[in-house]
Copies of this chain bind each other. A is one copy, B any other.
Amino acid sequence: MSAPSHPPDPLTTTSSPLSPDTIKQILEAALLTAQEPLPLSELRKLFDQQFNAAMLSALLEDIRRDWNEKSVELVKVASGWRFQTKPEIQPYLDRLTPQRPPRYSRAVMETLAIIAYRQPVTRGDIEEIRGVSVSASVLKTLTARGWIESVGQRNVPGKPALFATTAHFLNDLNLNSLEELPPLEEMKSLIGQDDQNQVLPLEQSHLATVETQSRN
């Protein structure tokens, strides 16, 4: 932006006509400070109606181009013009407003764990393992997150839905496959030795792989 040969005094509008650059500066300042989108009718007030809507529109398009490379853009919405941040910048700005990351309730976490380790399971299965009823909102939370889905129905009276975890769940937890879930080592101490003997030789090798991965 080139400076005019003698700086126009913005205060004395009557004496010297405003240069297009100065008009753009004023428009920018107004749009940057406005709390609401500004329609052309408002923007014209800045110059005591001195300029017509067409001229201001052209300058606004100019400003829009000037800001093209910026992280903030000039957009026209229903009620007028406004500056707003580009969506790709949002993740950075969000770091400034750290809502403490919310946590899932124990009910949600346990339900998720059961579905992850025991899939496919019905709501009844989950309730049996947890020993308490599972509220619909718990399953809804996990479904809305895209972490579980119904993969069919068990062929028993009532045809309850069978839930399984999704690929999205694996992605979000940075897992390549369900085998990368932490092996349930502690079960040895929790469950009697007898159960251990039931493990198939095949699964032993599988488990070995899992355990190696989990140490990464």
Do B46 and A11 have beta carbons less than 8 Å apart?
Answer: no
**Chain B residue at minimal CB-CB distance from A29:** B71
Q: Interface residue tally of chain A, by bracket?
A: 20 to 34
A91 contacts which of B11, B83, B85, B93 (Cβ < 8 Å)?
B11
Q: A47-B92, A95-B45 are in contact. Are A70 and B10 (CB under 8 A)?
A: no
The reply on A32 being an interface residue by CB < 8 A is yes
Q: A29-B71, A33-B85, A85-B29 are in contact. Are A96 and B45 (CB under 8 A)?
A: yes
- Copy number of this protein in the oligomer? 2
Residues of B contacting A46 in the complex (Cβ-Cβ under 8 angstroms): 92-93, 95-96
Question: From DSSP, what is the main secondary structure of chain A's interface residues?
Answer: mixed
- New A-B pairs, 16, CB < 8 Å, besides A26-B92, A29-B72, A42-B96: A1-B69, A1-B70, A10-B88, A10-B89, A10-B92, A11-B88, A25-B70, A25-B71, A26-B71, A29-B71, A29-B85, A32-B85, A45-B96, A45-B98, A46-B92, A46-B96
A-B contact pairs, 25 of them (CB 8 A): A1-B69, A3-B69, A10-B89, A11-B88, A11-B91, A25-B70, A26-B71, A28-B70, A28-B71, A29-B89, A30-B92, A30-B93, A32-B32, A32-B72, A32-B83, A32-B85, A33-B85, A38-B96, A42-B96, A45-B95, A45-B98, A46-B92, A46-B93, A46-B95, A47-B92
